[in-house]
Chain A
Amino acid sequence: MTDLIDLSLSEARDGLRSKDFTAVELTRAYLGAMERSRELNAYITETPDKALTMAEASDKRLAAGDAGTLEGLPIAVKDLYCTEGVLTTAASHILDGFKPPYESTVTSNLWREGAVLLGKTNLDEFAMGSSNTTSYYGPVRNPWQDKTAPSRHLVPGGSSGGSAAAVAARSALAALGTDTGGSIRQPAALTATVGFKPTYGRCSRWGIVAFASSLDQAGPFTRTVRDAAIMLRAMAGHDPKDSTSAKIEVPNFEASLTGDIKGLRIGIPKEYRLEGLSPEIDALWQQGITWLKDAGAEIVDVSLPHAKYALPAYYIVAPAEASSNLARYDGVRYGLRVPGKTLDEMYANTRGEGFGDEVQRRVLIGTYVLSAGYYDAYYLKAQKVRARIAEDFRSAWNSCDLLLTPATPTAAFGVDEKQDDPLQMYLNDVFTVTANLAGLPGISVPAGLDSKGLPLGLQLLGRPFDEGTLFRAGGVLEEAAAFTAQPGLRA
């Protein structure tokens, strides 16, 4: 028998159903893997006892023929999701000791389908970052190594770096992330995992610590496209507790993996051909085009004229919302409180100590762009840009069904790189933010290795609520790429 942790989620599901192994056995295998890969710092909190209890319950349901779609499957959860009675930190000092008395809708959906919680994964503080280096709990190490410098500590991307690293290193079968500007797709690309960002409104945001409300969206990390389809189906659905969640039925996404994309029109946005784009990334992109073309798709050139303004617009809208969303962390009701002589002093002490540099930077930017006299020039302008970008996509959909782009401008970089230049760091999101600004679904699929042996991903973007087509084309891309390489630091 192959090692249980090498099975994909769909294989593990099928194995459990045909009683090849039990949920407890599978969970123990993952608990072992989690322990072996602690040097990656992928988890903030491990929940082995809870995992075994849940697995035992799953085995009972499996035996009774009462299994959910994720029955007995061990999954990691980004520590931005509130989990009842389990420490929830958002990787921030300010949430010290916070154990929510409630469970997020998306995780509730997973447990309802029988999934098993392995633990809470590391992330950039409040999901603000692209390298998982802003966590109060320390950086996450990418299990992939630069073959020219294997001891070099590389980042897994961010903000969902812990989830990406855990799935890549086989210390979780799948994991939950959130994607505000690329926080699922970028780390997926840097760790050779599949990262899926659904349409805004597809999954409930209730119980997920908010970063930027109009951009945040829950999504899965998996090792295969099929696994992502299975996960999303369980996660998604209308939630009356989230006013922005869509009243749209959730299809069986797995069923859309037909392997047939004949006649599908794939748009190639010329604005993504950035000046100075690395030749390796460009070559991979061309390879992706060829793969899809060979599978029968039609390739169309499209234009997203306002895409170049997406990154600056994003870095106004997201901090603006964050500055307000993070106002509740004030030391009054929960988490960290650093005393002061007056209320204002207590606020300043608590937030000064509780928030890291990047969070403080974004709160300041957000406060600034919303201030009287600057609102029109920054926030309002950014919202106008956002509307234009959405319009660009709408007109693109007249001539194509999906867009194909690189997922990231570079492969994984060193943990000490780009740290003193926030703007350089923000560029990581250049290919991903447009989808968040327009609320569109996107997927990052592992597509190849660069000269240093580091993974690269390709991104597909689709129409709102047309995730099915993304899975279908993603599956074709995955098959064509036939990516089988594994990271050196896997469990």
Chain B
Amino acid sequence: MAAVYAQAVQTLIDELGRLPGIGPKSAQRITFHLLKLPTEDAERLANAIITAKARVRFCEQCFNVSEDELCSICADPRRDQTVLCVVEEARDIIAVERTGEFRGRYHVLMGAISPIDGVGPEQLKIRELLRRLGSDTVQEIILCTNPNVEGEATAMYLARLIKPLGLTVSRIASGLPVGGDLEYADELTLGRALEGRRIVD
């Protein structure tokens, strides 16, 4: 197919199209939106990307995104040092933080075990996790991986690895959304919620 757009325009479309969740049509739309912007707005966006890329790195302890050696959570002395929540990605931390229910610290695995994607335990931050558990402050691990095949396998792998160390290991429950009607819950979620039922005190 012959090139429809000028080289620079096509390059921008191609680059945007490589981002997650952006298809060819969205990439084209965003490109033309950017081209219409005043130069300083476009520069602000470009600079934001460059600055973030230059400044942001991964926390040396938990692999959350951070501007310093330690992320704000690891550096916060008020966080509970005895509980560790293990998540697949740094963005999962934000989800858990939004609940306001968790006052411990995190550990980001940077993925889940998935042979199809070439990810085994050695590609994940599991060695680093075990090193952290070696210190005597951590007493409980909460496995907060996704409730899909790969996330469940990763949770099982970690549980088998960590339980012999004498720590408490728990897995987040999957079940019903709060505030919803039972009638509208899909069968799978309701089925899981039934499996994970609790005795009422």
Chain A complexes with chain B? no
